[in-house]
Chains A and B, each alone.
Chain A
């Protein structure tokens, strides 16, 4: 069963909170991982790995640099579910 965009955002927020210590409500669609959430490239890889497991999708390493915002990640994961 595919996850809705709302479910993906909620799950992603939990993963980001676990990795960074930020509150889940800080993780919003328009937020930049690097500029707003202060997530470096290694933490981003940890988040991506947990997201792959949680949503049963594959996010290639070369794709990660295109995921600038939380919304980018939600859109990618939603599309990768199919």
Chain B
């Protein structure tokens, strides 16, 4: 029998560099409160959000992605021809095909890297980090560029009180490559499609084709149900990610959950019994909820502001529409 050669695994992987790009517009609560009959005070009390960053009409999800990826690649020190794969997580790339990743590979000059998109909504960045870790350690790719990017302002309804007022635009990127030490713990991930209706699009593209009067589809959520799931169930997956990585709350320097709502973040911190000295990502206050981009954006802010540093142990967890979730412990670049 002919013996095949298989890719040679490498022992360890880590995140080599992170980059971020936020929408250039600062949208205040007062700017959006009118159509939802609300107020700055109500939105702050309900979500913790003071401003959300949004991009203008001349920038799409690819533009945001390209900017974040360029910064992440520069920070990583990895040469373009050493990046073998690109994974983009987004729900706001408005063609069925080609993928955002393939277009970005060309724009960034990383051809002929393998390029594909994933659909895991607000868990997308952690899903993609899990895949990048597996690709690198299996020997399938030397380095993988991960991008979590959204221009959510393209799928909001200004009169919607359930989710639109939370949402912002941005992109976060990370380069994952081989490491001399373990830099990405096992990914604890999963889904619960029985709750697919909890965070949803108002109607499908096919329904829009049949009845154009329905108008452009936008997002909705059952806020209290999402809050309950995220606050009291999702923390268990973060706990499991710590156990899988062989660490406990006392070993965590930084906790960065998906920036969905400040009250969810605070409740998760409480449920996980994290020590008070753990730095918690709260980028939502200024950036809003940017779905797949929110975790790398929050990490980038902590690093840029000196609240976190290279080598810190970070527990990160994404969760959202699907419902889906993914968590892992990583060492910050």
Contacts and interface: CB of A to CB of B under 8 A. Distances in A.
B232 A44 contact: no
A61 B232 contact: no
Contacts of B263: 42
Contacts of A48: 228
B223 A42 contact: yes
Contacts of B232: 49
Contact of B267 (A40, A41, A46): A46
A17 interface: no
Contacts of B228: 45-46, 48-49, 61
For the residues of B in contact with A, the DSSP-based class is helix
Contacts of A42: 46, 223-224, 227, 261, 263
Contact of A41 (B45, B223, B231, B261): B223
A78 interface: no
B307 interface: no
A64 B225 CA distance: 10
A46 B222 CA distance: 15
Given A61-B222, A61-B225, A64-B224, A45 B46 contact: no
B222 A45 contact: no
A64 B267 CA distance: 19
Most B Cβ at <10 Å: residue of A40, A42, A44, A61: A42
Interface size on A, as a range, is 10 to 19
A41 B267 CA distance: 15
Contacts of B224: 41-42, 44-45, 61, 64
Interface in A8-49: 40-42, 44-46, 48-49
Interface in B154-198: none
A70 B45 CA distance: 23
Most A Cβ at <10 Å: residue of B223, B227, B231, B263: B227
Interface in B220-275: 222-225, 227-228, 231-232, 261, 263, 267
Most A Cβ at <10 Å: residue of B46, B224, B261: B224
Nearest to B223: A41
A57 to B, nearest CB: 15
Interface in A45-62: 45-46, 48-49, 61
A54 to B, nearest CB: 13
B113 to A, nearest CB: 43
B21 to A, nearest CB: 30
Contacts of B46: 40, 42
Contacts of B222: 61
A58 B224 CA distance: 16
A41 B46 CA distance: 9
A40 B227 CA distance: 12
A4 to B, nearest CB: 26
Nearest to A43: B263
A18 to B, nearest CB: 11
A76 B223 CA distance: 22
24 contacts: A40-B45, A40-B46, A41-B224, A42-B46, A42-B223, A42-B224, A42-B227, A42-B261, A42-B263, A44-B224, A45-B224, A45-B225, A45-B227, A45-B228, A45-B231, A46-B228, A46-B231, A48-B228, A49-B228, A49-B232, A61-B222, A61-B224, A61-B225, A64-B224
Interface of B: 45-46, 222-225, 227-228, 231-232, 261, 263, 267
The 4 tightest CB contacts between A and B, nearest first, are A45-B228, A41-B224, A61-B225, A49-B232
Given A45-B231, A48-B228, 5 more contacts: A40-B45, A41-B223, A44-B224, A46-B231, A61-B224
